[in-house]
Structure 1
Amino acid sequence: MQIILYLSVALIAVAFLVLVIFLSKTLKTLQETLSSVSDTLKGVENQLDGVTRETTLLLQKTNALADDIQQKSQSINSVVDAVKEVGETVSNFNGTLKNITTTVDKKVEESKEKVSQIIQWSHIFLELKEKWQERKELKNEAYETDKRKIHSY
């Protein structure tokens, strides 16, 4: 009866030791994975900082352009108000101003679309870079695994 008790205790100790070994390996692998993810996120953060700075500069230029257009539009409006009663000449002048305003509005709309496209392309680029880094990490992990297998023989 005592032998069964001692054998049971020994079996429990061996099982606990195996459990501890497997948990240790699992936690070590998890730590390496989290470290790799952390490094990847740092790289993405740096890239996003660059994109954010460039986008900020682009928005500042767009705002400056909008302010300039607004000032010019106000100047044109004051000229139109001052010359309103001149007749046919003023009529032709108003037509010209309408064409200029339409062209300026189109240019502003085109600028908005270009900014939107730049942002979309930057998101696509970041996704492609992340996928490339994931593949590289998987290849490195496979290489390390093969290397460990070779050394174990």
Structure 2
Amino acid sequence: MEELLYISALIVAVAVGLLVIYIIKTLKSTSKALEQTTATVDALKKQIDGITAESKLLLEKSNALADDIQRKSDAVDVVFESAKDLGHSMKSFNQSVRVVSTKVSDQTSRNAETVSQAVQWGQAVLDFYTKYKQRKQQLERKTTEEEL
């Protein structure tokens, strides 16, 4: 029976040895995985630091651009205010022209008969002058013919 006890102890020793070997292999594998994970985390940290720096620069540029846009927008507001004032002035001018036009139209309507009579008188004077010139020319021709 002692032999059986030695064989059992040998089997247990071999099993413990195999278990230790597998545990060592597992620990080595885990150690390699942890080293790779550490390397990956370090690389990610470097990349994140780079991204953070670039993001900071981008944010600063964006803020500068927003300030520039605000300044230019304020400058353009003055132009739009001037255009608005010009529009009001043009509206006022148009209303004044309408009022004057209406007054002229009303005055013209009131004086239409007088103007018509003046045109008729003008036409009569023009006709009289034309006939006067024709008679004068006829008389001059007659006088010239008689002298010849």
Q: What is the TM-score of this pair, normalised by structure 2?
A: 0.52
**Percent identity between the two aligned chains:** 42
> What amino acid is aligned across from residue 62 of structure 1 in structure 2?
S
Whether 2:12 is the aligned partner of 1:20: answer no
Q: Identify which of structures 1 and 2 has the higher relative contact order when contacts are C-alpha pairs closer than 8 Å and 6+ apart.
A: 1
Q: Which moved more, 1:71-80 or 1:33-42?
A: 71-80
Distance 1:47 1:89 in 2: 62
Distance 1:89 1:42 in 2: 70
* 1:22-44 alpha-carbon deviations (Å, 9 max, x no partner): 11122012102211221122122
Q: 1:89/1:8 Cα in 2 relative to 1: closer, same or farther (>3 Å)?
A: farther
Q: 1:78 corresponds to which residue?
A: 78
The Cα shift of 1:55 comes to 2.1
Q: What is the TM-score of this pair, normalised by structure 1?
A: 0.51
Distance 1:67 1:89 in 2: 33
The Cα shift of 1:2 comes to 2.6
Whether 2:2 is the aligned partner of 1:5: answer no
Q: 1:89/1:57 Cα in 2 relative to 1: closer, same or farther (>3 Å)?
A: farther
Distance 2:32 2:85 in 1: 80
* Runs of 4+ with deviation above 3 angstroms: none
Gaps of 5+ in 1: 91-153
Larger radius of gyration: 2
Distance 1:66 1:75 in 2: 14
The Cα shift of 1:71 comes to 2.0
Q: 1:62 corresponds to which residue?
A: 62
The Cα shift of 1:82 comes to 4.5
Gaps of 5+ in 2: 91-148
> What amino acid is aligned across from residue 13 of structure 2 in structure 1?
A
Distance 1:77 1:34 in 2: 62
SS where residue 87 of structure 1 aligns?
helix
Q: 1:53 corresponds to which residue?
A: 53
SS where residue 21 of structure 2 aligns?
helix
* 1:39-72 alpha-carbon deviations (Å, 9 max, x no partner): 1221221122112211220121112111110122
Aligned Cα root-mean-square deviation (Å)? 2.4
